[in-house]
Structure 1
Amino acid sequence: MEFLAVTGVEDKLQDHVLETIEKFRSAGIQVWMLTGDKIETAKCIAIATGMNNRQEGVHEIRGENFTKGSFYIKDSIESFDKTNKNKTMLMIDGQALAMITANQELTTRFFQAATTAKSVCVCRCSPTQKALVARYIKEYTKKRIACVGDGGNDVAMIQEADVGLGIVGKEGMQASLASDFSLIQFSHLKELILWHGRMSYQRSAKLSQFIIHRGMIISFIQAIFTMIFFSVTIPIYNGYLILGYSTVYTSLPVFSLVLDEDVDREICLKFPILYQTLQDGRSLNIKTFLIWTWKSIYQASIIMFLAVILFNDSFVIIMSITFTTLICIEFLNVIQEVTTVRRKMVVSIVGSLIVYVLTIIFFNTMFQMSAFDLEFVVKVGIITFASWVPVWGIKKMVEWLDPNAVMKVRKSEYK
């Protein structure tokens, strides 16, 4: 047979795919590739995308090799367990995957091994199998997953994921319409996850814990007040002050925390290892909650006990001094938590402070104006200093003795 011509169709990768995959791997994100291509084609794609280097090994599990029974599949999974998973990519075809998922024991063994691999590639994979793989990854890792696709075959997988990402491509809009986030290019995932995803988590964690602290500190003040004054049942602050504390006086400064950026966008993308601090759960866990609880108890105790010691003469004066100190401390706590002070943050704090001063002047029925003299201001400063500076000092000492990855990056980049 004499060939007159040979033609082929090249499915080119989009720009910056290699860079994006490498950033994900550096960030500690495990990458799975689910494709309908055969193993040989998928292996070339894995090398081109950076999922597997030429110097690294590939462990293949082919369905055609396991016609004799499940024992051979189990043996292949165990042999992969014995390899250096940090330098080996796992590849499996759809036939072998179907045999594995038909057996509960094999399914457990496979996904426990696969979810610890450097990267995984599933070839000859049907749309149903793609969704099934996404479901099993969630089940066996107990972690959140994101699935990316650009065609109709990826819709089921995208809908099964915790976060579905659809790319507008030549195959239509099905994946994009079924997703939570629609992208134009695969490389946009780098900024979406490493920057926007990281900052969204950081800001949400900081804001939620600060709001909890804001509620706890006023509750502890009331508890200490009741304890000091022989279990009296009256509230230390009336309803108007509590409403103002939660809304008018502290809401803008507290919500300005969502504008904070611990590093610039370019630096965050340059050092994907910063994303690993999110995976470790250092921003929001039991430890951070206990730290905020301790801070609330300490500051509430100092405010009440020093107020009673310095102003042991009038309930109205004690109420005024503790509430004024509480407002000042919340402003200082906001400043303590932000990494980069921005104009909007300063405006929100100054504006809220002005509103509070105007409240004192025009709503003098809640405050005793004669008490607001130089001595009052000095004593407010003393209580504020005693309740805030030690907390600030301990935080700075911990940061100096045990700096995290963000602090090390900031120190090296912002010289």
Structure 2
Amino acid sequence: MRLFFLWLMQIKTFVDAVDKYAQLGLRTLCLGWRELSLEEYLEWSRLFKEANSALVDREWKVAEVCQKLEHSLDILGISAIEDRLQDGVPETIEILRQSGINFWMLTGDKQSTAIQIALLCNLISSEPKGQLLYINGKTEDEVARSLERVLLTMRITSSEPKELAFVVDGWALEIILTRYKEAFTELAVLSKTAICCRVTPSQKAQLVKLLKSCDYRTLAIGDGGNDVRMIQQAHIGVGISGREGLQAARAADYSIGKFRFLKRLILVHGRYSYNRTAFLSQYSFYKSLLICFIQILFSFVSGIAGTSLFNSVSLMAYNVFYTSIPVLTTVLDKDLSEKTVTQNPEILLYCQAGSF
């Protein structure tokens, strides 16, 4: 009885330590061990090789095989690693939110760690006007009721200046995406901030696909191999090259060295690219229609003889020489200075509204 009591005290000590480290924003790792017989290891090794070479659902099959091995463990200890935020992350998020961009945080960390990181990077507010809504439950019915409660709160407060965000874990998310996708889609439209913790790489990609179905333009940014599927699913994929390797950077449309460079990528290069592309598209239609109408008018004058007003050299020179100067100037055009755009991120709202 005394040994059992000591064992419970030890478990409580470990659980309290994990919660304490998580609240500090540290990434925790629990270490455990147990003895394996040779037969058990050989059987597991065979199953692991089969799962690792599967062409379909490889990630899920590998996790299932590992789950068969990771049970009845004796606790060895806990490690807590400080994964420091890069410089300029809170400021970058704040500026981009002013430009009308919504943020969803998709992470494999536990809930308390994810919330603490969200607070540190200004993704959610610690002020009274900020509020977290939790979607959780131990059963499917509890998850459904929790989702309905959060959705009702979002509907009521959608017109109020409250900074609401919802939190959901991977287990509840799996149920929601399977059975309550329509309600969650409505919630995605109403919410500006979300924290999805304990999610798998496939769930990250599913969430991006869900947001795309809501007619949102999505940008996914990540720095690790578990972000690759999410980056490839988004309209625009941005990879951060750094300590986590180059998998995300190689799979992305754009690669940056630091998170803070995202501000310049979106506000400066993104806006300039939008304006230049919009002008060139309209200009291309205009110059093509212009020469077509001239040919149509000439056909009436010539009695619809079928001859062209211009010879082949003139038609070639029209696109290559005569109308090329506006194209060259537009490529280098900057309607506003970079300083003005970065200091007034609200300007990006005109691009989001389709204004030009």
Q: Which TM bucket (shorter chain)?
A: 0.7 to 0.9
Q: Distance in 1 between matches of 2:309 and 2:190?
A: 55
* Counterpart check, 1:150 vs 2:223: yes
Task: Give me the TM-score of the superposition, normalised by structure 1.
Answer: 0.62
Match of 1:125 in 2: 199
Whether the 8 Å CA contact 2:135–2:167 is kept in 1: the answer is: yes
- Pair 114,69 (structure 1): closer, same or farther in 2 beyond 3 Å: closer
* Counterpart check, 1:14 vs 2:94: no
Task: Give me the TM-score of the superposition, normalised by structure 2.
Answer: 0.72
Whether the 8 Å CA contact 1:63–1:93 is kept in 2: the answer is: no
Q: What is the deviation of 1:273?
A: 1.1
The match for 1:109 among 174, 183, 197 is 183
Give the counterpart letter for 2:351 in structure 1: L
Larger mean CA deviation between 83-92 and 48-57 belongs to 83-92
Whether the 8 Å CA contact 2:267–2:348 is kept in 1: the answer is: yes
The match for 2:104 among 32, 52, 55 is 32
Q: What is the deviation of 1:176?
A: 1.6
Whether the 8 Å CA contact 1:151–1:172 is kept in 2: the answer is: yes
* Counterpart check, 1:241 vs 2:241: no
Q: Distance in 2 between matches of 1:110 and 1:210?
A: 42
- Pair 169,115 (structure 1): closer, same or farther in 2 beyond 3 Å: farther
- Pair 66,279 (structure 1): closer, same or farther in 2 beyond 3 Å: same
Match of 2:32 in 1: none
Whether the 8 Å CA contact 1:63–1:94 is kept in 2: the answer is: no
Q: What is the deviation of 1:230?
A: 4.8
Q: What is the deviation of 1:226?
A: 3.1
Deviations along 1:46-83, one digit per CA (max 9) or x if unpaired, are 22211111221111112337554634533443333223
Larger radius of gyration: 1
Measured on the aligned residues, the alpha-carbon RMSD in Å equals 2.4
- Size of the alignment, in residue pairs? 279
- Structure 1, unaligned runs of 5 or more: 284-415
- Pair 210,69 (structure 1): closer, same or farther in 2 beyond 3 Å: closer
- Pair 11,72 (structure 1): closer, same or farther in 2 beyond 3 Å: closer
Match of 1:265 in 2: 338
| Greater fraction helix | 1
Deviations along 1:90-133, one digit per CA (max 9) or x if unpaired, are 21111211110111xx2121122223312111111111111111
Q: What is the deviation of 1:88?
A: 0.7
Q: What is the deviation of 1:23?
A: 1.3
For 1:56-205, list aligned pairs within 5 A. 56-64=130-138, 67-68=141-142, 70-84=144-158, 86=161, 87-103=163-179, 106-139=180-213, 141-205=214-278
Q: What is the deviation of 1:247?
A: 1.1
Give the counterpart letter for 1:123 in structure 2: C
- Pair 206,69 (structure 1): closer, same or farther in 2 beyond 3 Å: closer
For 1:201-212, list aligned pairs within 5 A. 201-212=274-285
* Matched position secondary structure for 1:64: coil
For 1:335-374, list aligned pairs within 5 A. none
Q: Percent identity?
A: 37
Deviations along 1:145-169, one digit per CA (max 9) or x if unpaired, are 1111111211111121122111122
Q: Distance in 1 between matches of 2:259 and 2:146?
A: 38
* Matched position secondary structure for 1:147: strand
Match of 1:45 in 2: 117
Whether the 8 Å CA contact 1:225–1:236 is kept in 2: the answer is: yes
Give the counterpart letter for 1:26 in structure 2: Q
Q: Distance in 1 between matches of 2:215 and 2:136?
A: 27
